Structure 1
Amino acid sequence: MRKSDYRKLGGIVILLVLWWLLAYALNRHFLFPSPFAVGKVMLCQLQNTAFYQAIIMTLSRCVIGFVISYGTALVLALVTGHMKWLRDYLAPLITLLKSVPNISFILLILIWFNREISVMIIVFFVLFPSFYSSFTNGFDAIDQSLREVMILYPQSLWRQIVKVELPLLKPYLAASYESGIGLAFKVGVMAEILGQVPDGIGKKLQWSYLNIEMAEVFAWTIWLIILLVLLEHGLRLLWKKRKE
Structure 2
Amino acid sequence: MKNKMLRKAVGAAAYIAAVFLLLQLLYTGINNPVIFPSPFEVAEIMAEQITDPQCIDAIAITILRVSLGIAASFLTGAVLGIVRFFYPWTSRILDRFVLLLRSLPNITLIILFLFWFDGESCIFFVICLVLFPLVYQACADSLVQIGQEWKDLFAVYSQPRLYLLKKIYLPLLKPDLGSALISVSSLGFKVGVMAEILSQVRSGIGRSMQIAKLNIDIASLFAWTAWLLIVVFVYEQFVKKLIRICFK
TM-score of the alignment, normalized to the shorter chain, above 0.5: yes
**Deviation at residue 86 of structure 1 after TM alignment:** 1.0
The question of 1:27 aligning with 2:41 is answered no
Structure 1 unaligned segments of length 5 or more: list them. none
Q: Given the alignment of the two structures, is residue 208 of structure 1 paired with residue 212 of structure 2, yes or no? A: yes
2:49 aligned with 1:45, yes or no? yes
Structure 1 ranges of 4+ moved more than 6 A: none
Q: Does 1:226 align with 2:230?
A: yes
TM-score, reference length from structure 2: 0.90
Deviation of the 1:224 alpha carbon: 0.8
Q: Which residue matches 1:95?
A: 99
Q: Which range moved further: 70-79 or 143-152?
A: 143-152
The residue that corresponds to 2:125 in the other structure is 121
Closer/same/farther in 2, CA of residues 160 and 192 from structure 1, 3 Å limit: same
User: How much is the aligned-residue C-alpha RMSD, in angstroms?
Assistant: 1.9
CA offset at residue 162 of structure 1?
2.5
Shift of residue 143, structure 1, vs aligned partner: 5.4
- Aligned partners of 2:217, 2:34: CA distance in 1, in Å? 7
- In the alignment, structure 2 segments of 5+ residues that lack a partner are none
Deviations 1:111-159 (A, max 9, x none): 2111111100010111112221111011111153423324433444333
User: Partner residue of 2:163?
Assistant: 159
Following the alignment from structure 1 to structure 2, what is the Cα–Cα distance between the partners of residues 209 and 35?
Answer: 18
Give the conservation status (yes or no) of the 8 Å contact 2:200–2:207. Answer: yes
Q: Which amino acid letter does the alignment assign opposite residue 172 of structure 2?
A: L
With normalisation by structure 1, the TM-score equals 0.92
Distance 1:65 1:239 in 2: 18
2:90 is the counterpart of 1:86: yes
Q: Is the 8 A contact 2:174 2:247 kept in 1?
A: no
The equivalent residue for 1:133 is 137
Question: What letter is aligned with 2:131?
Answer: L
Match of 1:56, as an amino acid?
A: A
**Identity across matched positions, percent:** 35
Matched with 2:62 is 58
In 2, are the aligned partners of 1:38 and 1:218 still within 8 Å (CA)?
Answer: yes
**Structure 1 residue 193 corresponds to structure 2 residue 197:** yes
Does structure 2 retain, via aligned residues, the 8 Å contact 1:208–1:214? yes
